[in-house]
Amino acid sequence: MSGQKYPEKSSAYHNDDYESKGKTEGDSSSQRGQNVKKTVGISVKNVHGLYTKRGSNEWKALCGLNLDLCEDHITALLGHNGAGKTTTIKILTGRMSP
């Protein structure tokens, strides 16, 4: 690309200090000159997803998923085939129990 620089990842996305809904984490980076506060809307800790195939073979789709989704932020779920994206959405929406 034309030498475009992207902002560094914020430590707020990788911080385990805020674990429940409603807690905020200050972000030291600026967005258009303003300090950004993030409020966790959904917090998922140590979630496992297991499928049973025909013949009693079990397959782990998720193994210890930890995820914090902030309010007022768009979040994308990316991964290879079989990485557990659909299983994660099914668990978050209640269509599958963890």
At 39-97, the pLDDT tens digits run 899 899 999 988 887 777 888 888 999 999 998 889 999 999 988 999 999 999 999 88
Strand partners, 52: 58
Which parts of the chain fold into alpha helices (H)?
A: 85-93
- List of residues 6+ apart from 78 with CB closer than 8 A: 85
What tokens were used for 35?
């300090």
- The residue behind tokens 């600026």 is 30
The torsion defined by the Cα of 28, 67, 17 and 29, in degrees rounded to 10, comes to: 0
Q: C-alpha 98: how far from its chain's center?
A: 15
At 2-46, the pLDDT tens digits run 454 544 544 444 444 444 444 455 544 445 556 667 789 989 999
Where are the chain's structural domains?
A: 40-93
Reported pTM = 0.56
What tokens were used for 30?
């600026």
